Amino acid sequence: MAEEMYRNVDAHGLEKLVTALFVHAGLTEHDAAFMGECLTYADRRGIHSHGVRWAPRYVASLASGHLNAKAVAKVVVERGATAIVDGEKGVGHIAVKFAMDIAIRKAKEFGNATVGIRNNSHCGAVAYYAQQAADAGCIGFAATTGGTMIAPWGGLDRRVGLNPISWAAPTGKGFTYNLDMAPSIVAGSKIEMARDRGEPISPDWAYDAEGNPTSDP
């Protein structure tokens, strides 16, 4: 079944296809091209849980009006090394890249910077944005909130958010260091992927309603 659902494709061609999807969904050529780059970046890194598989969801959310195709991220508060960006409820990736660009500029001026975002949405793999900073010669940190999906140790109910973080830094040796993680054992999307493939999951990934380890996605 998995072989029927997945195939190898050319990354550049896939990026162009995803770009075209977002143009059709109402994004500008510039923003659509960025989405093509950002989603295929995740797949090229092996983070398929946050890659192109999300494109249909974003496009559907744009079509329904849940996401604002005309959103233009903007700075609404700015003081010294800090700023707040309003994402206008658009595609989350676009506002986060915009915010990191500002953070990089401010860090080079002040030595460090912090930029927050409001009215935003799912932004994919946060490793991309931390990597932005590392590629610019800075130490980057990117984080976002996530749905309450994790039971605390010894608990049954979902109480802890899937709040991913990423640190990235240049090494001066021709490569960068990038740590991309979350408080969960595995990304929730990986459980969805196993369900879609009809495959069991590792029993240490999730609990059932009674708090027992389960292999049923």
Q: What is the pLDDT of residue 177?
A: 96
Sheet of 74-79, strand order: 74-79, 82-86, 114-118
Return mean pLDDT, the chain: 92
Closest Cα partner for 123 from 95, 161, 85, 165?
95
- Say if residue 130's pLDDT is above 70: yes
**Of 2-11, 37-46, 90-99, highest mean pLDDT:** 90-99
- Say if residue 33's pLDDT is above 80: yes
The third-level CATH classification (topology) of the domain covering 8-66 is: Hypothetical Oxidoreductase Yiak; Chain: A, domain 1 (1.10.1530)
Query: Per residue in 1-14, pLDDT tens?
Result: 445 566 788 999 99
Query: Residue 16 belongs to what H/E stretch?
Result: helix 11-24
